[in-house]
Amino acid sequence: MMLVDGQPQDAVSALDRGLLYGDGLFETIRFVGAVAPLWSRHMQRLTNSCERLRLPVPDPALLWREAQAARGDMAHAVLRITLTRGVGARGYAMPAAPQATRIVAAFPMPALDAAAFRDGVRLQLCETRLGEQPRLAGIKHLNRLEQVLARAEWNDPAIAEGLLCDMHGNAISATAANLFAVIDGVPVTPALERCGVAGVLRAELLEALPRVEVRDLPLQECLGAGELFLSSSVRGILPVQAAGTKMFAPGPVARAMQAHWRGLGFPMEQA
Amino acid sequence: MMLVDGQPQDAVSALDRGLLYGDGLFETIRFVGAVAPLWSRHMQRLTNSCERLRLPVPDPALLWREAQAARGDMAHAVLRITLTRGVGARGYAMPAAPQATRIVAAFPMPALDAAAFRDGVRLQLCETRLGEQPRLAGIKHLNRLEQVLARAEWNDPAIAEGLLCDMHGNAISATAANLFAVIDGVPVTPALERCGVAGVLRAELLEALPRVEVRDLPLQECLGAGELFLSSSVRGILPVQAAGTKMFAPGPVARAMQAHWRGLGFPMEQA
């Protein structure tokens, strides 16, 4: 079920700036029944990102009501909230009084593979690199062609994700998940000041981990890590089994973060 | 008037990848009556960009028929053709059999200011810099948040455009036009291998100019140019009068290219 500006509807104006310019942002939120354990973090990022993009900040209480309406009676839903700068005059200039478009859509939670949580996933080392743009870095905005091109680099269904670097060869993230490496026993996650999306589960882990470093992570150092795992607010904590030809085993930090994920109220599909 | 996949319609699915990810591209084409002097160059870029983004290439004859239908009896129209990767499964992976969405929309040509052609326009020196992404450089794709942010840096109506640099301080373009500088008598236009949009009128000028260099153009060198002008397939050739506090006078190369523009069949609004 989908609501556009509060109305059950599945279309938007072909003149919406979200379509014309990718002028907007989104959140993808996992629900367990009527509960979204990371809701407040999603709202925090949404608010912060709206301010950075000069979009009107929607009322979280309104979004919550619309989320529940869109979810209906789905037991396991993924909710996508999309906010755009709406319809305006032609051209890049922001409308003086922006009328944002608000799309709240619920989808059935896709089936997850228990083996992925237990044994880990395989990553493609992507040749597509992320461009650096500090003004957009961290924001889950609608300009996602880089991720589309990176994801198109493989179609082997045994490969779950891709590992993306920036132009300097620093590991940044997967196409749709954040990245953690455990190096000499210390969890490290790439700094996202120049590119990448600052994931909501990543923010959660940065508080949950007793010790963690946020810094540049050259690919070679990343591939030399003792353990590697991905964080996604929809898929949870996924140990990495292989990145290119380099093999890894699920390690204690990934297992601890999986336990933390379960503690948040997400299902037990994770081994 | 607007056609979506050939049907008179003004809405698209809220699940279209053009909206979800900016997964698509566009062309903005100026018509003089029923004629679009740069049509074949637009089709050339469209085809080339579709191939780079792995989008199905539409039939130019079909686009032409739809363009005429959308234009109706408008004497001066700007046509926007938008192609997206359509509706697919959730996630960045391209659908195995992509069903593109094709939007053909005509708008009345906006009034142009004759003084801009005669005396030139003022440029803001934008602080927003263009990120470098060789896989997308040159393409007029739907990921245009950088341009939106750059255009939001000023709202003085006396400033017509912004001058954008890359992260290394090379001048690249305006927010919605290409840039030419005449340095020691030689026209130079920035190389667009790492960022920027390869404009259709720019391509035309590269053939029309007896001598021209395509290379990196550091901002300081650009501001020291003897003349500076913009090229836009909608607005034509605009001499630059000022870039920040640096003043310029319209020069002979800009005047020659304005004459070339008129020779293509565009109106005489240019002095």
Distance from CA of B117 to the nearest CA of A (A): 19
End-to-end CA distance of chain A: 31
Give domain A114-263's CATH architecture.
Alpha-Beta Barrel (3.20)
Q: Name the residue among A104, A140, A121 with its Cα closest to residue A7.
A: A104
Q: Which residue has the tokens 């994770």?
A: A270
Q: What percent of chain A is modeled with pLDDT above 90?
A: 94
Selected residue of B94, B149, B234 to mutate for chain A interface (largest A Cβ count, 10 A): B149
Residue A88 is predicted with a pLDDT of 84
**Residue A232: beta bridge partners?**
A236
The Cα-based distances of A134 to A22, B146, B259 in angstroms read 17, 11, 41
Residue B269 confidence (pLDDT):
65
Q: Do B22 and A26 touch (CB under 8 A)?
A: no
Residues B116, B117, B118, B123: what is their CA dihedral angle, to the nearest 10 degrees?
Answer: 50
CB pairs under 8 A between A and B: 167
Say if residues B22 and B29 touch (Cβ distance below 8 Å).
Answer: no
Predicted-complex ipTM score: 0.96
Q: Kindly report, as residue ranges, where domains of CATH 3.30.470.10 are found in chain B.
A: 2-108
Q: Residue B248 corresponds to which tokens in the numbers above?
A: 């310029």
- Write out residues in chain B with pLDDT < 50, as ranges: 270-271
Nearest CA in chain B to A195: B131
Q: Using CB atoms, pick whichever of A94, A103, A131 lies closest to residue B152.
A: A94
Tokens of A215: 């810094």
Distance CA B67, CA A189 (A): 50
Nearest to A105 by CA among A200, A11, A202: A11
Angstroms from B22 CA to nearest CA on chain A: 5
3-state secondary structure of A79: strand
Query: Is there a contact between B87 and B17 (Cβ–Cβ < 8 Å)?
Result: yes
Per-residue pLDDT at B268: 65
Residues facing residue A215 across a β-bridge: A190
> Which residue ranges in chain A fall short of pLDDT 70?
268-271
What's the pLDDT score for residue A268?
65
CA dist list (Å): A51 to A134, A144, B151: 15, 20, 17
Of A22, A103, A151, the CB nearest to B144: A22
The answer to whether B99 and B83 are in contact (CB under 8 A) is no
Cα separation, B144 vs B164, in Å, equals: 13
Question: Chain A partners of B131 at a C-beta cutoff of 8 Å?
Answer: 131-133, 136, 195
pLDDT reported for residue B103: 98
CB contact under 8 A, B145 and A22: yes
Nearest to B143 among A78, A143, A176 (CB): A143
Q: What is the 3-state secondary structure (H, E, C) of A127-162?
A: EEEECCCCCCCECCECCCHHHHHHHCCCCCCCEEEE
Taking contacts as CB-CB distances below 8 angstroms, the residues of chain B near A11 are: 11-14
Q: At what angle do helices A200-208 and A39-53 cross, to 10 degrees?
A: 120
Residue in B32, B74, B95 with CA at minimum distance from that of residue B261: B32
Return the pLDDT at A176.
Answer: 98
Which of the four CATH numbers 3.30.470.10, 3.40.640.10, 3.40.50.1100, 3.40.50.880 does domain B2-108 have?
3.30.470.10
d(CA A186, nearest CA chain B) in Å: 31
Q: What are phi and psi of A104, to 5 degrees?
A: -120, 115
What is the model's pLDDT at position A269? 66
pLDDT at A7: 98
- Are B133 and A135 inside 8 Å of each other by CB? no
CATH 3.20.10.10 location in chain B: 114-263
Q: Is A10 exposed, middle or buried, given 0-12, 13-18 or 19+ CB atoms closer than 10 A? A: middle
**Pick among A21, A25, A53, A153 to test the B interface (most B CBs inside 10 A):** A21
Which of B119, B126, B121, B169 has its CA nearest to residue B146? B126
- Across the interface, of B23, B105, B146, the residue whose CB is closest to A14 is B105
**CB nearest A145 (choices: B110, B141, B152):** B141
Which helix (H) or strand (E) element contains residue A61?
Answer: helix A60-71
Supply φ then ψ for residue A71, to 5 degrees: -70, -35
Contacts of B217 (CB under 8 A, 6+ apart): B170, B171, B179, B181, B188, B189, B190
